[in-house]
Amino acid sequence: MVGLLARTLSTDVREEVIHRFAEPPKLSLFEEDKYGVLRHARVSRVRRLSRRYLLAELELLEQFEDPPGPAQFVMIWLPGIDYIPMSIANSDEGRIHIFFSVRGEGTRALANSKGKMVGVVGPLGKPLAVSARSKYVLIAGGTGLAPIIKLARGLSDMGLLAAVIWGTRAREDVGEVPFYFKEVTGCNLTICTEDCSVGFCGRAADLAEEVLPDLENTQVVAAGPNDMLITVADLSMRVGIDPVLILESMVECGLGVCGRCVLGSTGLRLCRDGPAFRASEVMDYLVDVALRRGQKH
Ligand code: FES
């Protein structure tokens, strides 16, 4: 792969690539499988949208075989540092946007990676199928907004978007996020803050509680922390909607091999069967996880 890339790059960049990609993650098992191909990308820009949220723009030096669909993700290899799963917030020919917050070594490295080369595997997971017969209400918490941005863009283009609700902690976390959202989707974001400093006073799930009982012929899609997903699923099911939940979980290989992302007794693999699931498929798993977390505290 390095040889192929080297023919298209200047000497300086080529040396950098060869040096940095001397030890790529062990993906040789998938060399013949487009699903597991490691592509080279340059982090062309990192924007701080607010105190908590950042946006990394990655320029792919080798194109994806198929354009990413809603809810799909990539594995980003930061040479010598980490190999992390990240949702695709937006994509245009040759570019992907990653909306994230710094949570560990990998995301810290991504935040400081402007101008650097990284490896990208993807798009991974199943694209979320959209029904043209319904309107959609999208609900996100924190970095759960990432897959919702991409979905909202597609739905907005199809005229199917009813509302997008996003919850975060405080005004300082909001910053330019709604402007970025509008830039990509052409739509407005309904903001909720836990400290009541801007927008709706409360969590995204609290606003969902007010909105969902009035919905008819509507699809609900939610992405965010487990407790928010459980609340949204519970509220939706009470009004006869089986919502789609986009899960965040421990993903290690992203390729369906290691078994790290298996969702308990469902046997479903988040990375290959998801990350979007009907609530009826994964509700027991989510409640189990919440109970186990509660026992630990
Ligand atoms: S992360 Fe390895 S099987 Fe899903």
> Quick one: 139 and 117 in the same domain?
no
Model confidence over 29-59: pLDDT tens digits?
A: 444 455 678 889 999 999 999 999 999 999 9
Give, rounded to a whole angstrom, the gap between the first and last alpha carbons of the chain.
47
Instruction: Kindly state whether residues 148 and 273 are assigned to the same domain.
Output: yes
| Domain range enclosing 40 | 2-124
Domain ends where: 124, 157, 177?
124
Between CA 103 and CA 111, with CA 105 as vertex, the angle to 5 degrees is: 75
Q: Which of 83, 11, 53 is nearest to 144 (CA)?
A: 53
Dihedral angle of Cα 150, 243, 193, 51, to the nearest 10 degrees: -30
**Triad 193, 198, 202: Cα angle to 5°:** 30
- For ligand 1, is residue 263 a contact (CB within 6 Å)? no
- Cis preceding linkage at 225, omega within 30: no
* CATH number of the domain encompassing residue 66: 2.40.30.10
Residue 115 is classified by DSSP as T
pLDDT in tens, 203-221: 998 998 888 877 777 899 9
Q: Tell me, using a 6 A CB cutoff, whether residue 258 lines ligand 1.
A: yes
Ligand 1 centroid–CA 282 distance in Å is 17
The answer to the question of residue 256 being in a domain is yes
**Domain assignment of residue 130, yes or no:** no
CA angle 289, 294, 297 (to 5 degrees): 130
Which stretch of DSSP H or E encloses residue 43?
A: strand 38-48
Sorting pLDDT into bands at 50, 70 and 90, what band is 7?
very low
Question: Beta 90-92 vs 82-87: how paired, if at all?
Answer: unpaired
Cβ of 261 closer than 6 Å to ligand 1, yes or no, is: yes
Which three-class secondary structure state does DSSP give residue 225?
coil
Identify the domain boundary among 79, 105, 124. Answer: 124
Q: Is 260 in the pocket of ligand 1 (CB under 6 A)?
A: yes
272 alpha carbon – ligand 1 mean position (Å): 7
- 171 and 117 in a single domain? The answer is no
The answer to the question of residue 269 being in a domain is yes
**127 Cβ neighbours under 8 A, 6+ residues apart:** 68, 69, 70, 71, 72
Tell whether 117 and 215 lie within a shared domain.
Answer: no
* 1 pLDDT higher than 50: no
Same domain, 115 and 142: no
Q: Give domain status of residue 173, yes or no.
A: yes
pLDDT at 295: 64
If asked whether residues 101 and 229 sit together in one domain, one would say: no
Q: What is the pLDDT of residues 92-122, one digit of tens each?
A: 989 999 999 999 999 999 999 999 999 999 8
Backbone angles phi, psi at 228, to 5 degrees: -65, -40
| Claim to verify: residue 148 and residue 282 sit in the same structural domain | yes
> Average pLDDT for residues 76-99, to the nearest whole number?
93
Domain boundary among 66, 92, 124: 124
Do residues 273 and 210 share a domain? yes
CA 254 to ligand 1: nearest atom: 1
The mean pLDDT of the chain is 86
Count Cα neighbours of 141 within 13 Å in the Cβ-side half-sphere: 23
- Averaged pLDDT for residues 211-235: 88
Q: Whose CA is nearest to atom 3 of ligand 1?
A: 256
Q: Domain check: are 120 and 168 in the same one?
A: no
Answer yes or no: is 208 within a domain.
yes
Residues 76 and 16 in one domain: yes
Residue 138 pLDDT > 80, yes or no? yes
Q: Is residue 188 part of a domain?
A: yes
How does pLDDT run across 144-190, given as a tens digit for each residue? 999 999 999 999 988 888 899 999 999 999 999 999 999 999 999 99
For position 228, what pLDDT does the model report? 92
Q: What is the pLDDT of residue 35?
A: 65
The answer to whether residue 129 sits within a structural domain is no
pTM: 0.86
The whole-angstrom separation of Cα 175 and Cα 239 is 34
- Strand-pair category, 135-141 with 161-168: parallel
Token look-up 């949204």 returns 232
Q: In terms of domains, do 289 and 143 share one?
A: yes
Number of domains in the chain: 2
Asked if pLDDT for residue 133 goes beyond 90, the answer is no
The answer to whether residue 149 sits within a structural domain is: yes
| pLDDT recorded at residue 132 | 83
Q: Which of 26, 91, 43, 89 lies closest to 63 in space, CA to CA?
A: 91
Q: What is the CATH number of the domain that holds 232?
A: 3.40.50.80
| Per-residue pLDDT tens digits for 247-279 | 987 888 888 888 889 999 999 999 999 999 999
Considering the domain architecture, whether residues 139 and 109 belong to the same structural domain is answered as no
